[in-house]
Structure formats: C-alpha cells, structure tokens
C-alpha cells in the first residue's frame, strides 16, 4: 500500500503542479546492420540532469516496456536488451530500483525475411522521475524503416569445407596414381584403347567413357557411405569416441599394409567376374574394365580411399563423402583420358621400379601418424589422459624420424630393393621430414608448435601445462571456484551458469566458447589466434571465458537428464556435452565449432557471433573482441 500511495501521490503532484513542463527525455532511433539478414533497432534516450528513467525490470514505478507489432517481413530475435542500469535504494518506493541517468540504450535484434525494405512498427511506455516527483507515464510510437535482406556474399562454412575436401581428395587421387597398383595400368590401358579403336577419335571417346566410369564407381561408393550413415551420424563421427577408436584401428591396418606386412586385396572371384564382363565390348565392357581397375588396385587405393572417406565423413556433411570420391576419382581418371588423346606422352612417363614401392612406404608412415590423431581424439573425449600432448609428440617424432632414415636409405623394409644411391628427390624429402622432426622436439617442453596445432592435444592437456620446469606463483595458482586452466593459460569456466554468475559479480562481459575436445579448428584458433599477446590479454583480463565442450561425455545426474526437441527431432540429453550442444543449436541455430558469443551481464548478445571461417585471423578476431568489450562498457 505504501508503494502504491507514493506512486499515486507523485503522479498527482507532477500532473497538477508541473502540467506544462517539457518532457525531460529525448528519444532517438537508429538501425545498425549485424549481418546480411539481421539488424539491431537501437532506441536511445537522452535524459536531462537530475531525472532518471526506469529499467524494464522494476516493481513500484512504471517500468519501460516495449511492444512490437507483427510483420510477416521480419522476425524479432529475443527480447529487448538494455544497457547496464544504476541500482540504488529509492525512499519514495521503499525498494531498490534499477534506473538510467543521462543516457539509456535499448536494442531489439530483428531478422529480415524480405528482399525489399520494410517498416517495423510498435510502441513503448516509460516513466521518469527526479528526487521530488514523477511525471505521468508516456507512450511513444515506433515506426522505423529497415533495409532489405541480402544474400551473403562470402561462402558458407559448408561450401568452404566441401572445397577443402575436394582438393584434398584430388591430391590424394594423384598420390594414388603413383602407387605400384595403379601407375603401371596407365600405359597398359591406354595402349589397349588405341589398339582396339578403329581411329583416334574413337579411342579418345572410349577413354573418356572409361574415365567417367571410374568416376561413377567411386562416387557411388561415396553415395553408399552417406546413405548408410546419414547426416546426423556423420556429424557425430568427429567427436564420437567409438568412431575415433575404429578409425585408429582402420588406419593402423592400412599403414601396416602399405609398409609391407600384408596386402589388402579383393576376392579373386570378384576380379575374374569383372574381367570376363569387360570382354563383352561396348559401353558395358568399358564400364567393367574400369570396375576391374578399381578391384585390382584396391590394395593401394583402398587405404587412401578409406582415409579420405574418414576425413570427408567426419566433416559432418552427408555430401562430403560424395564430393571426396568425385575429387579422388577425377584425379585418377584424368591421366587415362589425356594419355589416350595424346599417346605420345606415354614415352615421357618414368619407368616402373622400386620407387613405386617407396611411395607406398611413405604413405604407410603418414597413415600411421594420422592414426594417432584419431586415438588422441578418443582420449580427449573420454578425458583419460593416456595420450597426452608430450606422448603424442614423442610418437610423431619417432614416426617422422624413421621416415627420414628410410628416405636416406638407413632403414630398409622386407620388400624393399637395394638402394645404391639417394636420388635428389629423396634427399629433398628427407630434408623436409628431418627438419619437421627436429621442429617437433621443443614441443616436448611446452613449445606451441603452431605448424601442427590442429593435430596434437592442446597445451593444457599435458603433464606440464605451463611447460617443463615452470613454477607457478601464488597469483597464477589463484582461481575462482568452477574455473579451470584453459588454452594459452587462460582461466575458463566450463559451466554456463557459473560463468555468467561470476561475470555479473565482477561486471565483465562473457565470451561463450562453444568448442570440442576433438575439434581441429578449435585447436587452430587457440594456438594460432589466441596466442597473440593482445588477444590473450583481452581474454585474460577483460572478459570471462566460458568454454563449453559439446563432446564432453561425462554423464549428467539422473535428475538433470531430460528430453528436448532438436532440429525437429526428439533428443535425449544425457551428457554434459549434450547439454551444451542443445544450448548452442537451439539458441544460436548452429552446431559448428568453434563458435563464439559475447554476452552482457544479463546474458544477452552484445554483437554478432563469431565463427572460425569468418574470424579465424588475429586482426579480425581482435576487432570482434574490441567491439564486444566496447559495447559492454
């Protein structure tokens, strides 16, 4: 009753005695572009001295409240976000109130759905008071023209990832050409076409059909992989510990095959049937010739194709394996077509010999090194600390050291021929692998190793997170409850509620870091961008870092587990990682990592969100951080 009486009395006094007073608040409207299809409607209040405007979140006086009218050409994203208000006890209302002085700012994020300009309409109510009185509540109409939505000019993450897969697959196809199972087939196959064809044009046509058949066979394999697993399963491959363990074992088997322990071959019955079908002639015969090539060369191409499918599938896109197989098969098919068109080029090809086997051995070492990346992923996700950073780097030093010795002829495998001398090509390769081996050695003592930052476990996942022999002072050891040692020695919270609460208590913005323990691009960002001294200083001192691992497999307590809807499907949230993945997907409509969000103390976004593709450089990420901190302040 006392609050109500004070409010009525203040309104009565202000209305009777000051009915002619000018409104002490001037309102301004502005539109700020956030992205190609999102804007912020910024409503600013300039408040005269001695007056104050109330927050949206008060009881007693009339709060500032906004109402926006529906419009099919736009969508309102979240609620109106206000700046940081003052907070003090008010005698008139006998309670602690939130209010603004001098200036107040309110933001409404709006998503544009039309390719033509549109008008946003609405209204808001507010009340202002000073130490002696309150003016009656006022209503202000909102009518602001918004620009048209535009299509983004930059390529999306998915398109960039598919191009990367294509080029990697294309290079892998050329590597496969240099193996002893495929290379000798080039002159044999081209010679067959030129002899069997009545004229040159027919030979070229048959060779083109042959090349297209090769492409069709491998692309079909990519379609099968995508169809069997589906997009959801492919998206989980990169972080699922069982998939990563399976990939590790698969690559170890492939590596052993390339190193000469055994050969992976298709059943002879399959090869014989395909070969007999190729004798029929015509288009069907040419297709089965290509199929025979795929079966015969499987012992060499199988490990490369398997590794490539693993890489493409772990990208999370159902189209990835299809694009990968297209790039791989295109590289293999290209020489057959070109040499059929210009058979004279065959004379320029190097002769088959022991160098082809050396290519297989080199690939075997590379397959073995890559295998430990997948084992590391599983160890990180399960948080076992078996394959920590130092152990991983030591294994890679041994693998590439042995590869260097092999290239120099100091290491010989059972099926290798005698190496009378080291060729210039082998020498150059040995210099590269030897230098790379030496480069990795300081990593055992805490060096960042930026060249390979995406492969070994992060610096904090090691026996000596601060480097061997480093002694922590008391100030470095100090951390708040719930904080953990994060990348680059930055203290980070791993729980959203704890991090936001702490940020509010110290009046700092929150930087949400949606990341993953097995996320390659996350490690690239942390080692290549966060290591910059200015960025590291901002992350340490000016924001509260909250790193949420979407692949954390720790189980939630039974009472904390729940079922929700994700992308139109029911999703059981059982683990901590599930919880953060659902938070990211449902709140920000993306499931890619790394993904960064800058929040104010009320948990509202301060600016556009950042990803690896658009902000993966020091200058771009620093500008994003600076703008976020400035918006908070």
What is the predicted pLDDT for the residue at 15?
A: 40
Closest CA to 80 of 135, 142, 127: 142
| List of long-range contacts for 23-30, beta carbons under 8 Å, 24+ apart | 23/128, 23/135, 23/138, 24/48, 24/51, 24/128, 24/135, 25/51, 25/53, 25/126, 25/128, 27/140, 29/142, 29/144
Two structure tokens written together for 110: 């709006």
What is the predicted pLDDT for the residue at 19?
A: 39
- Least confident range from 40-49, 111-120, 258-267: namely 258-267
pLDDT tens figures, 183-204: 666 766 666 666 665 666 777 7
Q: What does the DSSP assignment read for 317-362? A: -TTHHHHHHHHHHHHHHHHHHHHHH-GGGGGGSPPPSHHHHHHHHH
CB 78 within 8 Å of CB 130: no
pLDDT tens figures, 286-310: 777 777 766 666 656 666 666 666 6
> Residue 89: pLDDT band by 50, 70, 90 thresholds?
confident
Half-sphere exposure of 105 (CA within 13 A, CB side): 12
- Three-class secondary structure of residue 479 per DSSP: coil
pLDDT tens figures, 36-59: 788 889 999 999 888 888 898 887
> What letter does residue 190 receive in the DSSP assignment?
H
Rounded CA-CA distance 89/83 in Å is 19
Tell me whether strands 118-126 and 483-485 are parallel, antiparallel or unpaired: unpaired
Rounded CA-CA distance 64/45 in Å is 11
- CATH architecture of the domain 2-146 equals Sandwich (2.60)
Two structure tokens written together for 230: 């589906």
pTM: 0.53
Half-sphere exposure of 258 (CA within 13 A, CB side): 26
The domain made up of 481-632 is a member of CATH 3.40.30.10: yes
Q: Where in the chain is the domain with CATH 3.40.30.10?
A: 481-632
pLDDT tens figures, 156-179: 445 556 777 788 788 877 777 776
pLDDT tops 90 at residue 432: yes
Tell me whether strands 38-47 and 25-35 are parallel, antiparallel or unpaired: antiparallel
pLDDT tops 70 at residue 424: yes
pLDDT tens figures, 436-480: 999 999 988 878 787 887 788 887 788 776 555 544 443 444 456
What's phi and psi for 388, nearest 5 deg?
-75, 175
pLDDT tops 50 at residue 67: yes
pLDDT tens figures, 547-589: 998 878 788 888 888 887 765 667 788 888 888 888 888 888 7
> What letter does residue 306 receive in the DSSP assignment?
H
CA 252 to chain centre: 27
Closest CA to 612 of 156, 149, 127, 268: 156
> What letter does residue 474 receive in the DSSP assignment?
H
Q: Which residues does residue 112 pair with via DSSP β-bridges, in sequence order?
A: 74
Q: Where in the chain is the domain with CATH 2.60.40.1250?
A: 2-146
Rounded CA-CA distance 390/462 in Å is 6
């Amino acid at each position: 009753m006392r609050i109500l009486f004070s409010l009525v009395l203040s309104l009565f006094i202000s209305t009777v005695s000051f009915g002619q007073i000018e409104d002490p608040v001037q309102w301004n409207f502005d539109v700020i572009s956030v992205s190609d299809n999102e804007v912020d409607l910024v409503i600013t209040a300039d408040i005269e001295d001695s007056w104050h405007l109330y927050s949206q979140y008060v009881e007693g006086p009339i709060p500032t409240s906004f109402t926006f009218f529906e419009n099919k050409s736009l969508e309102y994203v979240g609620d109106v976000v206000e700046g940081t208000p003052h907070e003090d006890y008010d005698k008139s209302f006998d309670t602690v109130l939130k209010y603004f002085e001098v200036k107040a700012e309110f933001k409404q994020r709006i998503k544009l759905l039309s390719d033509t300009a549109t008008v946003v309409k609405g209204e808001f109510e507010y009340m202002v008071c000073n130490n002696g009185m309150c003016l009656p509540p006022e209503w202000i109409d909102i009518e602001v023209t918004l620009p048209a939505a535009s299509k983004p000019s930059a390529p999306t993450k998915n398109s960039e990832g598919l191009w990367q897969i294509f080029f990697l697959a294309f290079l892998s196809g050329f590597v496969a050409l240099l193996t002893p199972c495929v290379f000798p087939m080039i002159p044999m196959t081209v010679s067959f076409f030129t002899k069997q064809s009545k004229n040159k044009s027919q030979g070229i046509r048959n060779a083109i059909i042959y090349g297209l058949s090769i492409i069709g066979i491998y692309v079909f394999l990519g379609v099968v992989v995508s169809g069997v697993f589906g997009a959801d399963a492919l998206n989980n491959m990169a972080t699922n510990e069982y998939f990563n363990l399976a990939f590790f074992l698969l690559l170890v088997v492939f590596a052993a095959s390339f190193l000469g322990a055994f050969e992976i071959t298709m059943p002879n019955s399959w090869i014989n049937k395909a070969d007999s079908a190729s004798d029929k002639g015509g288009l069907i015969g040419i297709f089965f010739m290509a199929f025979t090539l795929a079966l015969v060369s499987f012992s060499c191409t199988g490990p490369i194709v398997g590794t490539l499918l693993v890489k493409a599938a772990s990208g999370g896109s159902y189209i990835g394996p299809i694009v990968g197989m297209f790039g791989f098969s295109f590289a293999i098919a290209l020489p057959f077509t070109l040499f059929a068109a210009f058979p004279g080029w065959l004379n320029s090809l190097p002769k088959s010999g022991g160098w082809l086997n050396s290519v297989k051995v080199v690939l075997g070492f590379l397959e073995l090194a890559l295998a430990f990346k997948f084992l590391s992923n599983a160890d990180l996700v399960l948080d076992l600390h078996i394959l920590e950073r130092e152990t991983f780097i030591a294994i890679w030093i041994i693998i590439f050291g042995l590869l260097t010795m092999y290239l120099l002829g100091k290491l010989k495998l059972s099926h290798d021929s005698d190496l009378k001398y080291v060729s210039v090509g082998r020498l150059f390769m040995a210099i590269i692998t030897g230098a790379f081996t030496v480069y990795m050695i300081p990593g055992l003592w805490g060096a960042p190793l930026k060249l390979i930052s995406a492969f070994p476990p992060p610096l904090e996942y090691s026996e000596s997170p601060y480097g061997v022999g480093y002694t922590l002072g008391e100030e470095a050891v100090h951390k708040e409850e719930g904080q953990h040692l994060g990348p680059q020695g930055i203290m980070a919270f791993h729980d959203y509620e704890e991090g936001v609460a702490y940020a509010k208590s110290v009046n700092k913005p929150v930087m949400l870091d949606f990341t993953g323990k097995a996320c390659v691009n996350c490690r690239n960002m942390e080692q290549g961008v966060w290591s910059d001294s200015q960025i590291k200083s901002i992350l340490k001192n000016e924001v509260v870092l909250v790193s949420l691992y979407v692949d954390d497999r720790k189980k939630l307590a039974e009472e904390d587990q729940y079922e929700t809807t994700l992308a139109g499907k029911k999703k059981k949230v059982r683990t901590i990682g599930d919880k953060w993945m659902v938070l990211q997907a449902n709140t920000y409509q993306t499931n890619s990592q790394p993904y960064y969000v800058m929040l104010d103390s009320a948990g509202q976004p301060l600016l556009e969100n950042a990803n690896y593709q658009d902000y993966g450089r020091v200058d771009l990420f620093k500008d994003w951080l600076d703008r976020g901190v400035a918006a908070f302040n």
